[in-house]
Structure 1
Amino acid sequence: MALVLGIDPGSLKTGFGIVNSVGGKNEYVASGVIRLPANESLPERLKIIFQSVTDVIIEYQPNEMAVEQVFMAKSAGSALKLGQARGAAIVAGVNQNLPVAEYEARKVKQSVVGTGAADKFQVQHMVTHLLKLSSVPQEDAADALAVALCHSHTQQQLIRSTRSVTYRRGRLV
């Protein structure tokens, strides 16, 4: 059993999603969006991200954390803010002794939808389907759940690949 916390960072909205991964099956645990006040300074918003992610970790006690990597933003300033939001979330996880994995947005979409070029609606739809949710989660929460699912799928592939490695007469076959 592994509880995986997925984070979709943003300087105005940061999504989080928690998935329980048991024997290759994933179950929904929780998700939400940390809404940040636009009228606050960036340092204050980073503080809110750090504290809110810390609170989620303390409440749900995940075993692992996965964060979406920075993609090309509209501007250099946007990319910097997004990177700082990621940093605040990552520090919250590391501060709580969680191993933190990072995934490119294309890999997350590929893992959940089957194509790295999927749009937000497709991600929401597949997250709803894969986790058997009764309603569609908010966009940022769905993205965070997709990050958690991507991490879970990646870990399962690693486990399967190490089990399939065999040796005969001292040679890898």
Structure 2
Amino acid sequence: MTELSPIIQLGNPLLRRKAARVENIQDQQIQKLINDLMTTVNKSNGVGIAAPQIAESLRLFIVASRPNPRYPDAPEMQAIAMINPEIIGHSTEIVKDWEGCLSVPGIRGLVPRYQRVEVEYADSSGRQQKQELTNFVARIFQHEYDHLDGLVFLDRVESTEELMTEEEYQKQIVKSSEASTNSSR
């Protein structure tokens, strides 16, 4: 049975640990972990979650972009488990955009990320995959990949002036985005 796992918060030393490689993807515990992560990201209105965020220090995360209250403009995609992922190439173009994190509740930050990344990973069946990700989905991948190396988005924010509370983000950024979308219809 899949469970909603407790998400550890900033300050927990497990968030700062470099995660270990997954050795046996077919192991029942790994398959259960993947299912638990899928359930947790879905029920938490996240667009991604890494195993270290639920206190499992393994190189595994879920990318699950879809519109939700935290990310109303997120593109829709099938949730994917990415195991032992690697970034094998990236664009030179770096874009700053707002990020939040289930392990850092209540805060958003402007984070510079590559616009495009080429990645390799094993899927939940153990098959090697290679993909090019762009824009928001590339941002999710990079954010979750950081978790595997003990980093959180706050480590990438260039200035404390580029931080805001979730409440202000919803008022200023989401509302202005909705207003401009409605006026262009």
TM over 0.5: no
- The TM-score bracket by the shorter chain reads under 0.3
Q: Pick 1 or 2: higher relative contact order, CA cutoff 8 A, min separation 6.
A: 1
What is the TM-score with the length of structure 2 in the denominator?
0.26
Larger radius of gyration: 1
What is the TM-score with the length of structure 1 in the denominator?
0.27
Answer 1 or 2: which has greater helix percent.
1
